[in-house]
Amino acid sequence: MRNPIYLKLSKEDILRIQQQDERFLLKLYNDSFPLMMSVAVRYKNNREEQLTAVHNSFLKMLRSIHQFHLNSSFEAWILRILRNELIDEFRRTNKQSNIKFTELNHDIATEQFNFELLENAEPTQLLHFLNELPPASKIVFNLYAIDEFSIKQISEALGISIETVKWHLKTSRKTLRARISTLKPQANENE
């Protein structure tokens, strides 16, 4: 398994970025791109939309770079900007009327789920399953399960009730489990 992405920037680098030195900006972009893109792909299905989200948040970051405190985490700061950008866009484009409460008839119960399938699944496959979720369920699951927002924070950020957030979480988990269960279990090497 590959290592998770971490952004390594010295204070001098950040100072250079604050001076908006073009070379350091490109360096920062190249360094932060994997991190930002790994978040953007979870929220957006389209490659162009993902790039637009990354670029928009990068521009936002450049505009407010002077507000950044050198003692805080630059990585967390960038990701917060990106997440806020994605949430804002969701609120702009997906109004309340777009959130549809469709009943999902999946037979896979929670107890029956085989965690080995999830462990053996390819990350790209999981990303594909995540992108298949409805937009509202996808953003709720992303914020809760991966970006570790609380349910209250999500309801405030998206402007929906706590019950709706819970419903989306439940539905998205159910759907994802059902989709993962369709994967074929890997054959045992000893057999």
Q: For binding to other proteins (CB under 8 A), which residues are involved? A: 1-2, 4-5, 19-23, 25-26, 29-30, 33-34, 37-38, 41-42, 51, 54-55, 58-59, 62-63, 110-111, 113, 115, 118-119, 121, 123-124, 126-127, 130, 144-146, 173, 176-177
CB of 173 to other proteins, least distance (A): 6
CB of 116 to other proteins, least distance (A): 10
CB of 169 to other proteins, least distance (A): 9
CB of 147 to other proteins, least distance (A): 9
- CA angle 54–75–124, rounded 5-degree value: 55
Q: Closer to other proteins at the Cβ: 25 or 99?
A: 25
Token pair for 128: 């594909």
For 91-99, the CB contacts below 8 A with 24+ separation are 91/158, 91/159, 94/135, 94/136, 96/159, 96/160, 98/135, 98/136, 99/134, 99/136, 99/160, 99/164, 99/168
